[in-house]
Amino acid sequence: MSTPDTRDVDLEKDLDATVRARRELGEEYDTALVDSFLEKVEQRIDDTVDRRVRRHLAEQQMTVARGSWRPKPADSWGERFGFAIVSLVLAIPLTALGGVFAGIGGVAVTWGGIVGVNIAQAVRLNPELLDGFRGRSARRD
């Protein structure tokens, strides 16, 4: 299995190859090239999620087997930090793809999605963030 550093280099190489192929083949192959690259990114994400889920389940089984099961707090610093790192790492190739294939509009849509996902994660971990918005809408009514 590859280390995270090796896999990042592999993903960079795949992106470079995709961009070079796009230059050589022309715009008629844009969709196929983007789909191919995104499948590789999706597979990388799936592999990472599967590995984390297996590790988490193994940790839970070990804890239950020891008889001292306690739920993990939902809002851990590691979870927030990891999510931020993954967002930034994925933002680089996604921004490049959006810019290459759709121009500034593609970059705007890409970053809108990245910001939206991070806001959703923040609200999931801290639902009280919405209390200010709920209070404002209740006062208007």
Q: How confident is the model at residue 5 (pLDDT cuts 50, 70, 90)?
A: low
| pLDDT tens digits for range 73-123 | 555 777 778 888 888 888 889 999 888 888 999 999 999 999 998 888 888
> Structural domain of residue 116, as residue ranges?
74-141
Q: Where are the alpha helices (DSSP H) in 26-76?
A: 30-66
User: CA–CA separation, 117 vs 135, rounded Å?
Assistant: 23
What pLDDT does residue 74 have? 56
The number of distinct structural domains making up the chain is 2
The answer to whether residues 11 and 68 belong to one domain is yes
Q: What is the rounded CA–CA span in Å between residue 119 and residue 64?
A: 33
Q: Is the domain of 67 the same as that of 82?
A: no
pTM recorded for the entire structure = 0.42
Q: Kindly state whether residues 65 and 98 are assigned to the same domain.
A: no
